Homo-oligomer: A and B are copies of this chain.
Amino acid sequence: MKELNYMSVAEEAMAKIRKGAFLTVKSEAGLNTMTIGWATIGFIWQKPVFMAAVRPTRHTFGIIEKAADFTVTVPSGDMLKETTFCGTKSGRDVDKFKACNLKTQNGRHTTSPIIEAAGIHFECRIVFKSAMNPDYLDAVFDRAIYPLKDYHTLYFGEILACYETQ
């Protein structure tokens, strides 16, 4: 395991996240992982922050709404089969970990585990969230991204750890 500077890997991580990364969340409401393709990374409130977005229709939504934290695992190898599965199937209907043979590892600083896969891992404590209000969203984005009006909630996670595993 190698500690990483979160901004030094931002370019590489974002390029890979766009192809699919795992957002993993555990709370009293359960454990699930889902695929994300969007994120922002930076520094706000004097802290390194990772922002992830979850639609309310997602099984993960009920879990993250009760969670203190989340993790993001950005695989370095080809996990297209797994990220496609975890991005299209719901944890309501199937145990994604079992179905994809995904193992988890305890977070070092988070209740939410990471996915046991070679890659970059972010452990994030939720410090702010914002349910998107469509009144303040570009109308073209609204029509293109939200035909079902299932606006994302944006979760801002303080990055507690960022590291790479082989």
Chain A contacts to B: CB under 8 angstroms: 7-8, 10-11, 14-15, 17-18, 37-46, 49, 51, 53, 126-130, 132-133, 136-138, 141, 144-145, 154, 158
Q: Are B10 and A7 in contact (CB under 8 A)?
A: yes
Number of copies: 2
Give 30 pairs: A residue, B residue, CB < 8 Å, sorted on A.
Answer: A7-B14, A8-B11, A10-B11, A10-B14, A10-B41, A11-B11, A14-B42, A17-B43, A18-B43, A37-B43, A38-B42, A38-B43, A39-B42, A40-B43, A40-B51, A41-B41, A42-B42, A42-B51, A44-B53, A45-B145, A51-B51, A126-B138, A127-B141, A128-B132, A128-B137, A129-B136, A130-B130, A130-B132, A130-B136, A130-B154
